[in-house]
Amino acid sequence: MDKILRINVGADNGPTYKTEALGDYAGFGGRALTSAIISKEVPPLCYPLGEDNKLVFAPGMLSGTTAAMSGRLSVGCKSPLTGGIKESNSGGQAAQVMARLGYAAIVLEGKGDGDSLYKVIINKEGIVIEPDDSLKMLGNYDLVDKLKRAYGDKITCISIGQAGEMKLSAASVAITDMEIRPNRHAGRGGVGAVMGAKGVKAIILDDTGMGMRKPSDAERFKAANKEFVKGLRKHAVTGQGLSAYGTNVLTNIINEAGAYPTHNFTRGRFEGCARISGEKQAEIETSRGGNATQGCHRGCVIRCSGTYVDKDGNYITKQPEYETVWAHGGNCGIDDLDAIARLDRMDDDFGLDTIEMGAAIGVAMEAGLAEFGDAEGAINLLSEVGKGTPLGRILGCGAAITGKVFGIERVPVVKNQAMPAYDPRAVQGMGVTYATSTMGADHTAGYAVATNLLGVGEAVDPLKPAGQVELSRNFQVATAAIDATGMCLFISFAVLDQPETFQALIDMINAFYGINLTADDVTELGRRILRMERDFNKRAGFTAKDDRLPEFFKKEPFPPHGVTFGVSDEELDRVYNF
């Protein structure tokens, strides 16, 4: 993994490519690499869908190795949704395959003629870039089926659906899973729209004939990996809860805590919660012949994914994750898992962020376009996006645009990006992360829920402002570092609770690269990434006023707790005082 592949889609006579050494980017992986390239090479004031923006795909430092949990892919650009820097993270097979093919990054540059649509084929023999207009406006599922017929069943695909081609700012990039289904997504920030603007429909990867990346010290690496896996398996969250019920295990927990925003963030408990919980979902999946325990990429030992099938046992979608079940379920007052699975499948097929779309539909419901609880109404609204109708294009550009068009005040976004499934009044540490993250409202940027509600690390009262700035800051730093490694963010539960598991992670990195990182070095890596991202956003015109929650969170008391968001603006401005 010692080279960067650059594809210039705007070259005369069609796209060209070149490979180059890492140079100044040596030692970076994942989010560290995507943010470094975007921060250094993309003009911060450029038009996100124009020729000056770049789209970067980067596996992590440990991707392509035998390290457990190391298969996350970072996708970076200037976001057409937020206007700031973006790293969107996905599972699936792409990170492992890219790394084994030797690429630390693939960078799409320039802008095509707007008419041709390209596919990129990468294997051990080299790179081929071909126009293929037969792929135009295919959904991700039909697209991948067509590519499998053409290139075999050993491929991994990175692709966009109709939303990406239409350059909608909620468009995602799809990554295929182990079964070559396009159901893992770099969802946030409109990265799919940037891929569409580059005129690239799909990148087809095939690592046949390529071996695992080899560590500098094989025995030490093997021992550290064994200790790391042991730590993950003995932790209650990573070894029990997630593997039994998936991420949707959180539904009952967050609802009981009164932090589950429903009916467009008007209250914190949903009466239909038990019908869409992780426990109920696993029961349905297993009773129908689906699977409630499955990894999203090879090497996953937490296995928090699964397969959701219909009443006849036919595949619908991957096991809908907690955020998706909330966004299309509780947030919209919908308590039908079959309907939520259909909406998830549609999002994956069209290539849309489930969080952004669930929030947009919730805002549309408040505007009267459908009733809360109307599953068919939600499906009809989402169908408009796939059709590319005027209404669909509005919804497909996210919750903020939908709110503006229909005159709705209660729009749960920061930097134009929709909030995930934790109300910032009831989990105030998450409110700090939503407000101040370089990425816009994003739970994965600094998952304060782990401490506020799940008891990981020190106790910090979720309903009070005290300690929330420090909590969010620490999580944001840790998350940035983890995103650089290619590790799944869920390792953080075990890493934070078990010092020996954290040390095992450091030992793996050191053994692989033949270096001597310390815990302080890992922390400094996280800070360095955040400094790069903050600097880009500042140069793009962001100021302290962009690190704020919408006013209604400060004014509207949140049932059942009756609280408002209490962290002051002055405190929010201290988050990045490292």
In this predicted structure, the answer to whether residue 299 has a pLDDT above a threshold of 80 is no
**What are the φ/ψ torsions at residue 401 (nearest 5 degrees)?**
-65, -40
Q: Is the peptide bond before 550 cis (omega within 30 degrees of 0)?
A: no
In this predicted structure, the answer to whether residue 305 has a pLDDT above a threshold of 90 is no
The predicted pLDDT at position 142 comes to 98
DSSP lists the bridge partners of residue 174 as 159, 185
Dump pLDDT digits (tens) for 348-375. Answer: 999 999 999 999 999 999 999 999 999 9
Confidence of residue 457 (pLDDT cuts 50, 70, 90): confident
The predicted pLDDT at position 246 comes to 84
In this predicted structure, the answer to whether residue 244 has a pLDDT above a threshold of 90 is no
Class level of CATH domain 3-205: alpha beta
- 10 Å Cβ neighbour count for 133? 10
Please calculate the CA angle 273-430-322 and round it to the nearest 5 degrees.
35
Please report, rounded to a whole number, the percentage of residues in the chain having pLDDT higher than 90. 90
248-421 topology per CATH = 1.10.569
Q: Tokens 């990429």 correspond to what residue?
A: 297
Decide if 425 contacts 559 (C-beta within 8 A): no
Please calculate the CA angle 469-30-167 and round it to the nearest 5 degrees.
90
**What are the φ/ψ torsions at residue 521 (nearest 5 degrees)?**
-65, -40
Confidence of residue 302 (pLDDT cuts 50, 70, 90): confident
Under 8 Å CB-to-CB from 66, ≥6 apart: which residues? 212, 221, 222, 225, 299
CA atoms within 13 A on the CB side of 216: 11
CA distances from 180 to 26, 152, 480 (A): 31, 10, 28
The predicted pLDDT at position 320 comes to 93
Strands (E) in 416-554, as ranges, are 417-418
For residue 67, the 8-state DSSP code is -
3-class DSSP assignment, residue 3 = strand
Dump pLDDT digits (tens) for 134-177. Answer: 999 999 999 999 999 999 999 999 999 999 999 999 999 999 99
The predicted pLDDT at position 489 comes to 86
Q: Which two tokens stand for residue 142?
A: 């039909």
Dump pLDDT digits (tens) for 219-233. Answer: 999 999 999 999 999
In this predicted structure, the answer to whether residue 32 has a pLDDT above a threshold of 90 is yes
Q: What is the DSSP string of 391-419?
A: HHHHHTT-HHHHHHHHT-S---EETTEEP
Domain boundary assignment for the chain: 3-205, 248-421
3-class DSSP assignment, residue 403 = helix
Confidence of residue 7 (pLDDT cuts 50, 70, 90): very high
Instruction: Please give the single-letter amino acid code of residue 262.
Output: T
Q: How confident is the prediction for the chain on average, in pLDDT? A: 95
In this predicted structure, the answer to whether residue 308 has a pLDDT above a threshold of 90 is yes
In this predicted structure, the answer to whether residue 298 has a pLDDT above a threshold of 80 is no
In this predicted structure, the answer to whether residue 328 has a pLDDT above a threshold of 80 is yes
Dump pLDDT digits (tens) for 463-522. Answer: 999 999 999 999 999 999 999 999 988 888 898 889 999 999 999 999 999 999 999 999
pTM for the full model?
0.96
